[in-house]
């Protein structure tokens, strides 16, 4: 039987690249999206055209009832999940802290932190051997920002990724005996649409000089690291934070 994988925020960027590789690697893939159904359906069609098995499901991962519905729909349509990539994440316009209001902070923390917790909760309920499951793997998509702090750009976003790092370490220990591995990737500057949300679509070009490898990364380069952490090739790796950042 296929391994069943949910990737949150897989309609574009790193999530979409991971979905394509996972589809080719034999996973049945749930391509979750927030608004962009057309793009998510396109990823599903590409996976199917390659002989894979995939399904697009919309859900706002920051909302508990939508997360519960998403996981139930995957139970019914693809089967019990064995893998989760907590990829969906947002950042908002670059600014200093003096200009950040509570509404913005709550939006960023709700999607990036609460959303990842809620999805991990539903995954552990299904995967844990303690709950009658067969184990599995969770990969959280953190960021090099968790180390760097993103001063003058978005310290709120960076702090949300710091929370994801701590969550990764803690959850990994909590469920290690129950057949579940939990790891994170920390991408650096990656060429996706997320930088436009910060108000600087050309950010990769500006920042690349500060990267020891002198370039931004691609979504596929991050996706390959995620796939390794999901696979049995990393069977003794848990609680790890894997840098995918060109040395930055
Ligand atoms: N790109 C980078 O340089 C970089 C660096 C470090 C870490 N990361 C992290 O990598 C992850 C993916 O980033 P990306 O660059 O690929 O971003 P992206 O191109 O902006 O794509 C974001 C994805 O998340 C989805 N999404 C947003 N809010 C959601 C919600 N509440 N519920 C469900 N889905 C939601 C979007 O869906 P719709 O298309 O439907 O709106 C989209 O599929 C994020 O966690 C980000 O923080 C990125």
Residue nearest to atom 17 of ligand 1 (CA): 194
The tokens of 153 are what? 């750009």
240: in domain: yes
Residue nearest to atom 42 of ligand 1 (CA): 9
With a 6 Å cutoff on the Cβ, whether 13 touches ligand 1 is yes
241, 165 Cβ separation under 8 angstroms? yes
81: in domain: yes
Instruction: Enter the pTM of the model.
Output: 0.98
Distance from residue 9's CA to the centre of ligand 1 (Å): 6
Pocket probe mutation, ligand 1, options 88, 113, 201, max atoms within 8 Å of Cβ: 88
49: in domain: yes
How far is 174 from 166, CA to CA, in rounded Å?
A: 12
Q: Alpha carbon of 140 to those of 15, 152, 184, 200: distances in Å? A: 11, 25, 4, 25
Structural domain harbouring 99:
3-187+219-244
Write out the chain's pLDDT in tens, 248 residues: 579 999 999 999 999 999 999 999 999 999 999 999 999 999 999 999 999 999 999 999 999 999 999 999 999 999 999 999 999 999 999 999 999 999 999 999 999 999 999 999 999 999 999 999 999 999 999 999 999 999 999 999 999 999 999 999 999 999 999 999 999 999 999 999 999 999 999 999 999 999 999 999 999 999 999 999 999 999 999 999 999 999 99
200: in domain: no
211: in domain: no
205: in domain: no
Distance from residue 132's CA to the centre of ligand 1 (Å): 32
CATH number of the domain to which 143 belongs: 3.40.50.720
With a 6 Å cutoff on the Cβ, whether 11 touches ligand 1 is yes
Q: Is 157 a catalytic residue?
A: yes
Number of structural domains the chain divides into:
1
195: in domain: no
144, 186 Cβ separation under 8 angstroms? yes
Pocket probe mutation, ligand 1, options 8, 89, 202, 223, max atoms within 8 Å of Cβ: 89
129: in domain: yes
Q: So what's the pLDDT on residue 24? A: 97
């Amino acid at each position: 039987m296929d391994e069943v994988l949910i990737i949150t925020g897989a309609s574009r960027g790193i999530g979409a690249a991971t979905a394509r590789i996972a589809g080719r690697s034999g996973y049945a893939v749930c391509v979750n999206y927030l608004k962009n159904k057309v793009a998510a359906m396109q990823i599903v069609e590409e996976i199917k055209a390659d002989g894979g098995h995939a399904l697009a499901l919309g859900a706002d991962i920051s909302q508990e009832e939508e997360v519960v519905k998403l996981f139930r729909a995957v139970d019914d349509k693809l089967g019990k999940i064995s893998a989760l990539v907590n990829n969906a994440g947002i950042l908002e316009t670059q600014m200093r802290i003096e200009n950040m209001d509570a509404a913005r902070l709550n939006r960023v923390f709700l999607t990036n932190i609460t959303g990842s917790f809620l999805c991990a909760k539903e995954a552990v309920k299904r995967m844990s051997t303690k709950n009658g499951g067969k184990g599995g793997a969770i990969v959280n998509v953190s960021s090099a920002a968790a180390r760097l702090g993103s001063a003058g750009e978005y310290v709120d976003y960076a702090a949300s990724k710091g929370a994801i790092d701590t969550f990764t370490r803690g959850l990994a220990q909590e469920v290690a005996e129950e057949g579940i591995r939990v790891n994170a990737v920390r991408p650096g500057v990656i060429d996706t649409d997320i930088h436009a949300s910060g108000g600087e679509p050309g950010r990769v070009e500006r920042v690349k000089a500060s990267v020891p490898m002198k370039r931004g990364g691609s979504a596929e380069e991050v996706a390959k690291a995620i796939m390794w952490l999901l696979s049995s090739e990393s069977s003794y790796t848990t609680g790890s934070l894997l840098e995918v950042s060109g040395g930055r």
